[in-house]
Amino acid sequence: KHLWSIPRNFRHCAIPSDSSSLTRVTSAIVDFLAVMPRALELPEDFSSKTPTSSTVHSVVTDLTIRFSPSNVPPSSCELDPRKWRRIEKELYQYTSLTTAWLYVELADEEEIAAQDLLVIVDIAVGESPSNCQPGRSWEGRPCGIWLLRSKYPGQKDRAVTAVDILFGIDAVDPRPRWALMQSSLQLHAQPEAPVARLSILRGRVEPPPPDAQTALRVRKDGTFKIVQISDTHMVTGVGVCKDAIDARGKNLPESEADPLTVDFIGKILDAERPDLVVLTGDQLHHDISDSQSALFKVLAPIIDRSIPFAAVFGNHDSEGDHALSRKSLSFRKVANSQS
């Protein structure tokens, strides 16, 4: 991983002012975007195996973590699949002789009303929370998880509707309405294992209409600026920056890689203020343990600035025992995606 793994020679295209040339260039940009693979959305693997793929009326009613020896398949100690969903992310990131899996119990609104079920309205991690309304108490779960449950308030915005896991002290969640918890799960994992953190969704994010893509427009001065970002090689956790040099070419000591890369991307975007960002492959390093956590770090500075973007994938994006397959790298829409 190199400090200057992102190209520094960014270009913008000056578009001629006469109408025929403008039409040709605009058409070329549209054609370019049309042929690019669908990209920079949530991989289907994530959506099909986490609570976000359940019925649109689902609400989270409970959480737990199940442990088993690493040589025992998790299906052998599965909870009732009619009620529980396993988040397909091993919490120790395959660094321990024990495996740990987060299970989320879901129920739809009709079940909640018929069975008078409690739903989760708040989640904390760490020490037992002290803030609680009279008549309600926090319930402990494994690994320092605390749940506050109550009767269903009838408004989804006041209840937890989905839970996910992201890894690393530098993890981010750019998805609308998702909130990443600062405290990590108390797993007592190996030092090399990135910390596991819960990310919580309250309410429901309505899918954007088919015509909701941000319109790409030429500027008043006849220009359209594209920033290309390539070979970020993000990992699960902060990673290690090797062969770094300062402005004078002097070697620097090894440091945390991904935070430097994210900071550099942000500085480039602020300096260039592009109309479009195109990610051109190897966003992820090969053989990383959680592709979603790594990919979100690349997307966050772009989404935070509301810049339209598109992407293609390189060979490293799907390499490794735990990487997403090429099929899984077909994505659903996220904010500002033009793919």
**DSSP label at residue 92:** T
Residue for token pair 């009619």: 82
Q: Has residue 101 got a pLDDT over 60?
A: yes
Outline where 159-219 has alpha helix (H).
none
Residue whose structure tokens are 């920079």 = 40
Say how far apart CA 282 and CA 291 lie, in whole Å: 12
Same domain, 1 and 18: yes
Does residue 96 share a domain with residue 132? yes
Higher pLDDT, 298 or 331: 298
Q: Which of 168, 202, 236 is the last residue in one of the domains? A: 202
Q: What pLDDT was estimated at residue 2?
A: 32
Q: What is the DSSP string of 3-24?
A: TT-S-S---EEEPPSSHHHHHH
Mean pLDDT, rounded, for 198-208: 85
What's the pTM?
Answer: 0.77
Q: In 70-222, which ranges are E strands?
A: 84-86, 98-108, 118-125, 138-141, 145-151, 160-167, 178-180, 196-202
In this structure, are 321 and 214 located in the same domain?
Answer: yes
- Tell me the pLDDT band of 315, cut-offs 50, 70 and 90: confident
Predicted pLDDT of residue 226: 96
Q: Give the HSE-up count for residue 178: Cα atoms under 13 Å, Cβ half-sphere.
A: 21
Query: Does residue 93 sit in the same domain as residue 128?
Result: yes
Of the pLDDT bands very low, low, confident and very high (cuts 50, 70, 90), residue 287 is confident
Tokens 């749940």 -> residue: 147
Q: What's the full length of the chain, in residues?
A: 339
38 inside domain: no
The answer to whether position 251 is within a domain reads yes
Of 170, 202, 234, the position where a domain reaches its end is: 202
Confidence of residue 214 (pLDDT cuts 50, 70, 90): low
Max avg pLDDT among 15-19, 76-80, 298-302: 298-302
DSSP class of 41: S
Give the span between the Cα atoms of 48 and 328, in whole angstroms. Answer: 10
- Residues 18, 124, single domain; the answer is no
- Does the pLDDT value for residue 301 go beyond 70? yes
Q: How far is 26 from 256, CA to CA, in rounded Å? A: 41
Same domain, 63 and 198: yes
Which tokens go with 102?
């987060």
Q: Look at residue 16 in the predicted model and tell me its pLDDT.
A: 40
- On the question of pLDDT at 310 being above 80, the answer is yes
Give, in order, the Cα–Cα distances in Å from 190 to each of 36, 67, 95, 168, 186. Answer: 40, 16, 7, 13, 12
Are 64 and 194 in the same domain?
Answer: yes
Mean pLDDT of the chain: 79
3 and 131, same domain (yes or no): no
Q: Based on the fold, state whether residues 143 and 229 are members of the same structural domain.
A: no
Please count the other Cβ atoms lying within 10 Å of the Cβ belonging to residue 191.
5
Q: Does residue 7 belong to any structural domain of this protein? A: yes
According to DSSP, residue 149 is labeled E
Residue 132 lies in a domain: yes
The CATH number linked to 233 is 3.60.21
Would you state the structure tokens that stand for residue 327, as one six-digit string? 């099929």
Domain-embedded: residue 82? yes
First-to-final CA distance of the chain: 27
- Whether 229 and 263 map to the same domain: the answer is yes
Same domain, 180 and 65: yes
Domain for residue 162, yes or no? Answer: yes
Is-contact 288 320, C-beta < 8 A? yes
Determine the structural domain holding residue 306 and report its residue range: 1-27+209-338
167 and 66 housed in the same domain: yes
How much is the pLDDT for 123? 95
In-domain check, residue 37: no
Is pLDDT above 90 for 11? Answer: no
Q: What angle do CA 103, 69, 85 make, to 5 degrees?
A: 15
Give the count of domains, the chain.
2
Question: Is 142 within the bounds of a domain?
Answer: yes
Cβ atoms of 336 and 307 closer than 8 Å: yes
Nearest to 306 by CA among 258, 269, 262, 272: 269
Asked if residues 310 and 276 have their Cβ atoms less than 8 Å apart, the reply is: yes
Q: Last residue of a domain, which of 202, 219, 239?
A: 202
